[in-house]
Structure 1
Amino acid sequence: MKIAFHGRNFNDAARPFIESMFSELAKRNIEIQLSKTFREFLDQSGVIHHSTLVYDSPDELFNPRLLVSMGGDGTLLETISHIGPKQIPTIGINVGRLGFLATVPPERINDMIGALEQGQFKIDERSLVSIESNVDLFNGINFGLNDFTITKTETSSMITVHTYLNEEFLNSYWADGLIVSTPTGSTGYSLSCGGPVLVPHSQNFIITPISPHNLNVRPLVVEDNAVIRCEIKSRSNNFLVSLDARSTIADESTQITVRKAPFSARLIKMLDDSFLNTLRNKLSWGLDMRN
Structure 2
Amino acid sequence: MKVVLSPNPYRDRGLKTALRAREVLNRCGIETALCLPFSLDQGTKPDLPKGQDYRDMQEELKTADLLLCFGGDGTILHAAKDALPYDIPVLGVNMGSVGFMAELEHGELELLTRLAEKKYTIEHRMLLDVAVRRGREVLFRDLALNDAVVTKGAVARVIDLSVRGDGVHVYEFSGDGVILATPTGSTAYSMSAGGPIVEPTAENILVTPICAHSLQAKPLVMGRDRVVSVRIGRQARKTAYLSVDGGRAFRLSGGDVVEVRRSRRVTRLVRLMDHSFYEIINQKLGRT
> How many angstroms apart in 2 are the aligned matches of 1:31 and 1:48?
17
Percent identity reads 26
- Residue 114 of structure 2 aligns to a residue whose secondary structure is helix
Quick check: 1:78–1:245 contact (8 Å CA) kept in 2?
A: no
In the superposition, relative to structure 1, how do residues 84 and 18 fare at CA in structure 2: closer, same or farther (>3 Å)?
closer
In the superposition, relative to structure 1, how do residues 60 and 239 fare at CA in structure 2: closer, same or farther (>3 Å)?
farther
Which residue does the alignment assign to 1:202?
202
> How many angstroms apart in 1 are the aligned matches of 2:15 and 2:35?
17
Map 1:85-234; keep pairs closer than 5 Å.
Answer: 85-112=85-112, 114-133=113-132, 134-137=137-140, 142-155=142-155, 157-233=157-233, 234=235
In the superposition, relative to structure 1, how do residues 216 and 169 fare at CA in structure 2: closer, same or farther (>3 Å)?
closer
**1:255, CA displacement in angstroms?**
3.0
In the superposition, relative to structure 1, how do residues 98 and 163 fare at CA in structure 2: closer, same or farther (>3 Å)?
same
Quick check: 1:156–1:236 contact (8 Å CA) kept in 2?
A: no
> How many angstroms apart in 2 are the aligned matches of 1:214 and 1:196?
18
Which residue does the alignment assign to 1:263?
265
Quick check: 1:3–1:64 contact (8 Å CA) kept in 2?
A: yes
Deviations 1:124-175 (A, max 9, x none): 10101111233443xx5x1011111101011251111111110111111211
Quick check: 2:160–2:232 contact (8 Å CA) kept in 1?
A: yes
Which residue does the alignment assign to 1:243?
244
**1:99, CA displacement in angstroms?**
1.3
Partner AA of 2:62 in structure 1: F
Quick check: 2:6–2:36 contact (8 Å CA) kept in 1?
A: yes
In the superposition, relative to structure 1, how do residues 60 and 250 fare at CA in structure 2: closer, same or farther (>3 Å)?
farther
> How many angstroms apart in 2 are the aligned matches of 1:4 and 1:135?
35
In the superposition, relative to structure 1, how do residues 23 and 44 fare at CA in structure 2: closer, same or farther (>3 Å)?
farther
Which residue does the alignment assign to 1:254?
256
> How many angstroms apart in 1 are the aligned matches of 2:86 and 2:239?
34
> How many angstroms apart in 2 are the aligned matches of 1:59 and 1:136?
30
**1:29, CA displacement in angstroms?**
5.7
Quick check: 2:36–2:54 contact (8 Å CA) kept in 1?
A: no
Which residue does the alignment assign to 1:63?
63
Which residue does the alignment assign to 1:37?
38
> How many angstroms apart in 2 are the aligned matches of 1:102 and 1:211?
30
Q: Which moved more, 1:268-277 or 1:14-23?
A: 14-23
Deviations 1:94-124 (A, max 9, x none): 0111111113011211321x11111111111
Alignment gaps of 5+ in structure 2: none
- The two structures have a TM-score, normalised by structure 2, of 0.87
**Deviant stretches of 4+, over 4 Å:** 38-41
**1:191, CA displacement in angstroms?**
0.7
Deviations 1:170-206 (A, max 9, x none): 1112111011111111111111111111111222111
In the superposition, relative to structure 1, how do residues 37 and 107 fare at CA in structure 2: closer, same or farther (>3 Å)?
same
Partner AA of 1:242 in structure 2: S
In the superposition, relative to structure 1, how do residues 11 and 53 fare at CA in structure 2: closer, same or farther (>3 Å)?
closer
Q: Which moved more, 1:80-89 or 1:262-271?
A: 80-89
> How many angstroms apart in 2 are the aligned matches of 1:119 and 1:60?
22
In the superposition, relative to structure 1, how do residues 90 and 241 fare at CA in structure 2: closer, same or farther (>3 Å)?
same
Alignment gaps of 5+ in structure 1: none
**1:26, CA displacement in angstroms?**
4.5
Partner AA of 1:115 in structure 2: R
In the superposition, relative to structure 1, how do residues 51 and 260 fare at CA in structure 2: closer, same or farther (>3 Å)?
same
> How many angstroms apart in 1 are the aligned matches of 2:115 and 2:40?
23
Q: Which moved more, 1:218-227 or 1:25-34?
A: 25-34
In the superposition, relative to structure 1, how do residues 188 and 253 fare at CA in structure 2: closer, same or farther (>3 Å)?
same
What root-mean-square deviation, in Å, do the aligned CA atoms of Structure 1 and Structure 2 show? 2.5
